[in-house]
Amino acid sequence: MTYDADPETRAQQQQQPPLAVPERGTRQTAVGPGPEATPATTSAEARLIPQGERDKLAMRLQQAVNTFVDGPRRAVEEADSVFEEAARCLTDAMAERRGTLRSAWSGKNREAETEELRVALRTYREATERLLRM
């Protein structure tokens, strides 16, 4: 008899990255959360758009939905405007994050330390995985 995991367990297993097998004769260092990755850090970094801006955009979107019956075209135009602004905020936040990450490891006058590179790689991986889950 074959055991099938419940859908939630299967979903969690599918989200985990595949294990990498090192080539023979090489050393592999795990690139995973280190001691500096605390829940507080993770939740602070999780907010790409500041809460105040998110609240304003959500309020505008809700107002557009609420006014649809009285002015459908105007409501859709407002929803389009909110979407455009949210996308711009997200793009700006990602560009700023990338600049910060890049400056941490790509200094022209110095060699980045292995630990700095490990942290940068982990951060790039986490940010990219978040984007791919959207």
Q: Which helix (H) or strand (E) holds 7?
A: helix 7-15
Q: Give the tens place of pLDDT for each residue, 38-71.
A: 333 344 455 778 999 999 999 999 999 999 999 9
> What pLDDT is recorded for position 129?
92
Tokens linked to 119: 């942290």
Sequence-separated (6 or more) residues with CB below 8 Å from residue 64: 75, 76, 78, 79, 82
Tokens linked to 130: 């978040």
- Report the C-alpha gap between 93 and 98 in whole angstroms: 9
Q: Name the burial class of residue 93, with classes exposed (0-12), middle (13-18) and buried (19+) by CB atoms within 10 angstroms of its CB.
A: middle
pTM exceeds 0.75 for this model: no
Runs of H (alpha helix) within 16-134: 39-46, 51-66, 72-105, 114-133
Tokens linked to 4: 């099938």
Q: Give the tens place of pLDDT for each residue, 64-111.
A: 999 999 999 999 999 999 999 999 999 999 999 899 888 888 875 566
CA angle 104, 117, 47 (to 5 degrees): 60
Nearest to 101 by CA among 81, 122, 86: 122
